């Protein structure tokens, strides 16, 4: 039997099928690469928080087991370790000045991370500041020390602080930065990822009733 050149050409259906198959493969590969990129950022963030925890531990060892002021915690980290660029999934917000009215002031913090402000020193009756001691933390393994936040926040009391305050459109919610959750540095030095609803914030305290951490649920309360 003799075949003509035209008889060997693939049918339109075959061409369409191969085109669709190629498109599916490309879409799958793109998704895989994108997810790997997000996972890589999450790992870098995890490493950053571990380094912050190590710096805070060094500070405590030098200052009688106490935590630094919430207005200075990032300075301690930058002076005791290589400067951290911040979470790779966030960007610093420009500072407010005469040439850029309306922009949010960015404190000189590590972009994307916020300190549990309950770790700040308390003012005594004589006007002096009493730092928070590490031994005062009832459950270090479940007490949040540093968490992820929007770039213009350097201290917080809540896992979903920005969401609770209804940030303007486009403002990042740090508590859902990585796959719908975020990394948390705890007072014992370990870092773990949680969804925001899994972490208890001070806003959950009921007026007139005292609440304490249970040692099982991640919490911003100290004792």
Note whether residue 34 is domain-resident: yes
Q: Does 169 reside within a domain?
A: yes
Over residues 153-179, mean pLDDT: 64
Number of domains in the chain: 1
Q: Is residue 139 part of a domain?
A: yes
Q: Which residue has the higher pLDDT, 155 or 86?
A: 86
Is the pLDDT reported for residue 142 higher than 90? yes
Reported as a pLDDT band with limits 50, 70 and 90, residue 149 is confident
Cβ burial, residue 188 (10 Å; 0-12/13-18/19+):
middle
The reported pLDDT for the residue numbered 150 is: 72
5 pLDDT exceeds 60? no
Average pLDDT over residues 27-37: 45
**pLDDT tens figures, 181-200:** 999 999 999 999 999 889 98
What was the pLDDT predicted at 30? 46
More confident residue, 98 or 70: 70
The predicted pLDDT at position 10 comes to 63
173 found inside a domain: yes
Domain-embedded: residue 211: no
Task: Please list, in sequence order, all residues whose beta carbon lies within 8 angstroms of the beta carbon of residue 104, skipping any fewer than 6 positions away.
Answer: 93, 96, 152
> Which one is predicted more confidently, 50 or 206?
50
pTM: 0.70
Containing structural domain, residue 167: 11-204
Residue 156 lies in a domain: yes
pLDDT band at 209 (very low <50, low <70, confident <90, very high): low
Mean pLDDT score across all residues of the chain: 73
Mean of pLDDT values over 140-150: 90
The whole-number average pLDDT for the span 207-211 is: 65
More confident of the two residues 1 and 104: 1
User: 213 lies in a domain?
Assistant: no
Is residue 136 a part of any domain in this protein? Answer: yes
């Amino acid at each position: 039997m003799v075949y003509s050149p035209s008889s060997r050409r693939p049918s339109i259906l075959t061409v369409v099928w191969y085109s669709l198959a190629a498109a599916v493969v490309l879409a799958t590969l793109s998704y895989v690469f994108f997810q790997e990129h997000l996972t890589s950022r999450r790992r870098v963030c995890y490493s950053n928080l571990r380094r912050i925890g190590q710096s805070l531990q060094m500070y405590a060892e030098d200052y009688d087991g106490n935590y630094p002021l919430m207005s200075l915690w990032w300075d301690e980290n930058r002076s005791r370790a290589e400067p951290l660029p911040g979470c790779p999934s966030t960007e610093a917000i420009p500072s407010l000045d005469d040439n850029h009215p309306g922009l949010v002031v960015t404190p000189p913090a590590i972009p994307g991370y916020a300190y549990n402000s309950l770790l700040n020193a308390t003012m005594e009756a004589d006007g002096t500041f009493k730092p928070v001691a590490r031994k005062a933390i009832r459950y270090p393994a479940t007490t949040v020390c540093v968490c992820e936040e929007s770039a213009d926040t350097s201290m917080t009391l809540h896992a979903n602080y920005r969401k609770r305050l209804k940030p303007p459109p486009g403002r990042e919610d740090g508590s859902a930065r990585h796959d719908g959750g975020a990394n948390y540095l705890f007072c014992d030095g370990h870092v773990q990822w949680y969804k925001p609803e899994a972490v208890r914030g001070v806003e959950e305290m009921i007026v007139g009733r005292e609440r304490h951490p249970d040692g099982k649920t991640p919490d911003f309360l100290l004792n």
